[in-house]
Structure 1
Amino acid sequence: MIKNIFKTTCLLLLMLTGVACTDLDLKPETDITAATVFGADEAAYTSFIAKLYAGLAVTGQQGPNGQADIKGIDEGFSSYLRQFWGAQVLSTDEAVIGWGDAGLPDFHYHTWTPANNFLSAMYNRVFFQVSMTNEFLRETSDAKLSERGVSEAVKAKVNEYRAEARFLRALSYWHGLDLFGNIPLYDETFSVGNNAPTQASRAEIFAFIETELKDIEGKMAAPGTQQYGRASQAAAWMLLAKLYLNAEVYVNTARYNESLTYLNKIIGAGAYSLKPNFQENFMADNHTSPELIFTIPFDGARTQTWGGMTFLINASLGGDMNTKDFGMNGGWGGTRTTSSIVDLFPDVTGAIDERAIFFTGGKTKEITNVGDYNSGYSAPKFINKTSTGANGQDGTHPDTDFPVFRLADVYLMYAEAVLRGGVGGDLNTALSYVNQLRERAYNNTTGNITSAQLTLDFILDERARELMWEGHRRTDLIRFNKFTENGVWPWKGNVAAGKTTEKFRDIYPIPATEIISNPNLKQNTGY
């Protein structure tokens, strides 16, 4: 529970030693303190910021499992990326999963409750990241660095790390805002070990993220100059653009002008371009793609986990598929897509639109049995093969990185913001950006559309075609008011043909364990 993080000062020790902080009355039996860990050397600070980034990928202090970061769920399920992907994708028409683990079918069926342990894991992941970041910022203040005799050169490097840490905190707060609505808001000034934090409104969380990102954008590396896997100014701009594009959902105010401002900054930086081959954005050497703005890196030898990309690739393979063709030793036979997504493509072979990455052998298009892996087409978009056909380093844990933000999304967001009336873009440019994506997908101009065809409904469908399984679909459907009341797809609502669901499910519930442990929290309406 998050209360355990608030009520103990052992967070730093947890990060450094894997000590579990689950007993409010337990005092860590160790001599390791911030004073003994941090000094004038840059290495300790580098290790800490590395842990903040790794928190999005791995699950504990050793791989692929062991000394888990959070408790209350199988460690493999506890991965930040795995939980985020489930909440954003399994709850939509993009995917079903055949496993019956308690709470997992609730996502596609829209039957989740505050007791859902997967939602609790996602919530805890968000605040584990927030709490680690807060501790890092406390321990890297100018006063602390001066006390330790840190050199000016190291101070400069640490200040870069601080900006990146604040970006990572803003990213997690955005996920919390989007998924759970009104959540606790606390930063490095929060007094650890005293009262639990109070609940903030969506507007307050929105304002915090906005202020943070605007403050740090000038302190981050210029687009394309950062070390791979680290966040640059472009990542901050993209997060701001996402925040503003969804502002009508979050704060009931249109902010499309501002979204275009930051999208134009990304495009104008000239640091990114479309990868000519679409699928090379999702292969074991996708770190070479000029399209990727921010990723969660994975390495088959160094970042082994049962969550993350290990889950995403293994779960998509099974049945009649030769898993060696995808660079894997085997498959877990779990995830498929629905006919609603398949029907958005002109065919299922990829011969017309190469984004139609489906495996159909021995499988039915319609899902007649969610638990049967051969019921519904597989969608092996992510694979553990390089662009030259070589296998990744490990046949179980892939090298493929997860694309959090990429240029194709920028182009589609630009077009949407223009269509929604945003000032700072124009329809001809929007059409050009969309057609660049379609020319790549069709390998020619036959897929190009006209300005009359560029509508908001088209954009929603095009986002599904371009960004399937990249963790955007739930947020997109909510923005278009088609997630609950106005959207139907197979097995939504636990009905084969699908049905509409209650509007209150546009946000998830605050986990019951948090409501019990923190008297400052109020449950979301409907739960």
Structure 2
Amino acid sequence: MKKTINNYTTLFSMLALLSVGASSCGKGYLDEKPYSSYDATNVDPTTVENRLLGLHYNFAQLWGYSGRQGFLSCWQIGTDITSAGSTEGVENPFYQYADLNSENGGVSFLWEKCYAFINNANLVIDGVGDSNAKASAEARFFRAYAYNMLVTLWGDVPLLTSSIKVPTFNYTRNAVAEIDKVIADDLNYAVKELPDLATASTPSRINKDMARQLAAEAFLRIGMRDASYFAQAETMATAIINGGNYKLIEARYGKYLAEGGDYFRDMFRQGNMRRRQGNTEAIWTFELEYNREVNGGTIDNPQQRRVWQPAYHKWDGMVNADSLGGRGNGRLRLSNFMKYTVWKGLKGDIRNSNFNIRRTTNYNRPNFSTEIGIDADGYRVAKGTGSKNIIIKTGDKVVPFRTDSLEVWYPFPTKWGGYDPLDDFGYALVKDWPVMRFGETYLLRAEARLRQGNTVGAAEDINKLRDRSFKVARAESGNNQLGKVAASELTIDFILDERARELIAEENRRMTLVRMNKLKERILRNGDTGPANKITAGFQDYNVLLPIPLSEIQLNNKDGDNLKQNLGYK
């Protein structure tokens, strides 16, 4: 391993490996001769900047991971909105809950990367002290981001507020309330000291509004324990809404005006996602396309498209195309609840258009023609084995096999589509990520208002989204009440339904359900009853929280029972 800081940061393995100082290259970090520029107390501007960019790289490493292609599915599957497709394997225990244990690779990887965030953030915070509040604020944002994930998904976890300096094997768990104080302090500090959008070095660097958005979400979770935080969550969201920096997209814009589409779809298309590209709704777009404004190093091969999009390339008569979002693997399928139930009574909602939830397609291979069989239910079978034969050709609506809905074709969200004609196989998604969006700000404030009993205010926020979603349908029908929500309709379940409509494939659904104490209840709504998708069969109450990785338990319990496992897990 070189003694320089590759990709702007030294990456650590899991917390226990952090303790012994193992670096990402497998050599003990404490065995290396550190350069003076890497001293934790060094405040050289270049060193500090590189460490901050390293935190962005940590983010890219986490959500761009391809070592286990099903990792992204872990945070969606086994909930109300998705079911298993052609799974890779690491995600299976997240819907077959009886198999969820402390050796799961998805559990270990997220834990590892959260503590990489924390240790690298602590390096910055320790290094700059009181000399660079802006740098400390950006590091504190990422530390709060990581700890918010940890306490949401694991509960009590070890609290580290200084960088690792000596080998340690006796970490214990700190109470959620203790860690929440650090999260709140970090985010309040970040809101105070970070630049606003107008003065940030680039729109992709962490600014006040990103910190406010994270604070609103974190404070809603903390509010389940301390109700005073609901008002603080509302304050954070209101500051974004009233700040005048963002506007809901309600008209088409960008590169694809000459193509079919709609204004909601435009927000998620390649080359349309950044503020300077016309996306007035973007709070935090993580930039992966060329001409990045934040360079945090080379990352892995992001799998979002391959997870969310079906494997339609397996059909004869089909070629990968930008109009279909490129090549998918069909790892996840929308649940029956997400495909059908959540849209009942909402005809005309643009979020359910075929541009946004793709339900149908046509054969697109040039000069394609073949004869197939059709069974009595209209599904494709081998020629001569059905009730009749037909000729299918380029431009015809696809006729699926009965089993295609498990992997090859099903209704899917198009937000992660992205096609590079130079990479038809499409192993990696080279496309920006929508991390924080103004539409969610209204949902966060609606939730905060509802938690405080303000159903009228909550309905006003939901109706901001409905005004956008039903704008076209209202104009076409002449009915300006389409999609309107009354205050009497507002419940937490209603907000969860609206989050599903607005944020499908964007939010970490597992985290949302856990922070609202709704995971067990909402998985009953999934609606898929096939043998592979009986996600409630093995669910136990303790599955709300994840197991602490076994390696952490073993390394920290060599000299006593220090780091205790979550109840129910071995």
Calculate the TM-score normalised by the size of structure 2: 0.73
| 1:268 positional shift | 2.0
Structure 1 distance, partners of 2:522, 2:332, is: 24
The aligned amino acid for 2:240 is I
Structure 2 distance, partners of 1:27, 1:222, is: 41
Kept after mapping to 2: 8 A contact 1:292/1:405:
yes
Alpha carbons of structure 1 residues 450 and 102: separation in structure 2 relative to 1, 3 Å: closer
Kept after mapping to 2: 8 A contact 1:300/1:392:
no
| 1:97 positional shift | 4.2
Does 2:315 correspond to 1:281?
A: no
Kept after mapping to 2: 8 A contact 1:355/1:441:
no
Equivalent residue of 1:295, what SS? strand
The aligned amino acid for 2:101 is T
Larger Rg: 2
Structure 1 distance, partners of 2:56, 2:319, is: 33
Out of 529, 552, 555, the residue aligned to residue 517 of structure 1 is 555
Partner of 1:233: 208
Equivalent residue of 2:283, what SS? strand
Structure 1 distance, partners of 2:51, 2:208, is: 21
Equivalent residue of 1:471, what SS? coil
Partner of 1:499: 536
Out of 21, 27, 31, the residue aligned to residue 31 of structure 2 is 27
Structure 2 distance, partners of 1:183, 1:370, is: 43
Structure 1 distance, partners of 2:404, 2:104, is: 19
Does 2:235 correspond to 1:242?
A: no
Q: What stretches of structure 1 of length at least 5 have no aligned partner?
A: 65-74, 143-154, 386-390
Summarize deviations over 1:428-452 as a string: whole Å, max 9, x none. 4432321221122223342222233
Q: Report percent identity of matched pairs.
A: 23
Structure 2 distance, partners of 1:31, 1:252, is: 44
Partner of 2:76: 89
Kept after mapping to 2: 8 A contact 1:278/1:355:
no
Does 2:281 correspond to 1:291?
A: yes
| 1:454 positional shift | 3.1
Structure 1 distance, partners of 2:508, 2:38, is: 42
| 1:518 positional shift | 1.2
Partner of 2:385: none
| 1:474 positional shift | 2.0
Q: How does 1:466-481 map to 2 (within 5 A)?
A: 466-481=502-517
Kept after mapping to 1: 8 A contact 2:156/2:175:
yes
Equivalent residue of 1:58, what SS? helix
Partner of 1:433: 461
Partner of 1:197: 171
The aligned amino acid for 2:94 is F
Kept after mapping to 1: 8 A contact 2:147/2:179:
yes
Kept after mapping to 1: 8 A contact 2:310/2:409:
no
Alpha carbons of structure 1 residues 328 and 222: separation in structure 2 relative to 1, 3 Å: same
| 1:281 positional shift | 2.7
Does 2:142 correspond to 1:165?
A: no
The aligned amino acid for 1:311 is Q
The aligned amino acid for 2:31 is K
Structure 2 distance, partners of 1:393, 1:407, is: 33
The aligned amino acid for 1:161 is A
Partner of 1:318: 311
Alpha carbons of structure 1 residues 246 and 327: separation in structure 2 relative to 1, 3 Å: same
Partner of 1:2: 15
Kept after mapping to 2: 8 A contact 1:300/1:394:
no
Structure 2 distance, partners of 1:487, 1:493, is: 14
Kept after mapping to 2: 8 A contact 1:384/1:400:
yes
| 1:211 positional shift | 1.4
Kept after mapping to 2: 8 A contact 1:493/1:499:
no
Summarize deviations over 1:479-510 as a string: whole Å, max 9, x none. 55431256312458966455362221111111
Summarize deviations over 1:105-147 as a string: whole Å, max 9, x none. 11122331111111101110101111111223333346xxxxx
The aligned amino acid for 2:540 is E
Structure 1 distance, partners of 2:445, 2:67, is: 35
CA RMSD of aligned residues (A): 3.7
Structure 2 distance, partners of 1:197, 1:184, is: 6
The aligned amino acid for 1:19 is C
Structure 1 distance, partners of 2:445, 2:186, is: 23
Out of 487, 506, 512, the residue aligned to residue 451 of structure 1 is 487
Out of 149, 168, 181, the residue aligned to residue 175 of structure 1 is 149
Alpha carbons of structure 1 residues 40 and 165: separation in structure 2 relative to 1, 3 Å: closer
Structure 2 distance, partners of 1:37, 1:135, is: 6
Alpha carbons of structure 1 residues 372 and 304: separation in structure 2 relative to 1, 3 Å: farther
Equivalent residue of 1:294, what SS? strand
Structure 1 distance, partners of 2:523, 2:465, is: 26
The aligned amino acid for 1:460 is L
| 1:50 positional shift | 0.8
Please, which moves more after superposition, 319-328 or 348-357? 348-357
Calculate the TM-score normalised by the size of structure 1: 0.79
Equivalent residue of 2:110, what SS? helix
Alpha carbons of structure 1 residues 304 and 392: separation in structure 2 relative to 1, 3 Å: farther
Partner of 1:132: 120
The aligned amino acid for 2:214 is L
Kept after mapping to 1: 8 A contact 2:221/2:516:
no
User: Number of residue pairs matched?
Assistant: 475
| 1:261 positional shift | 1.7
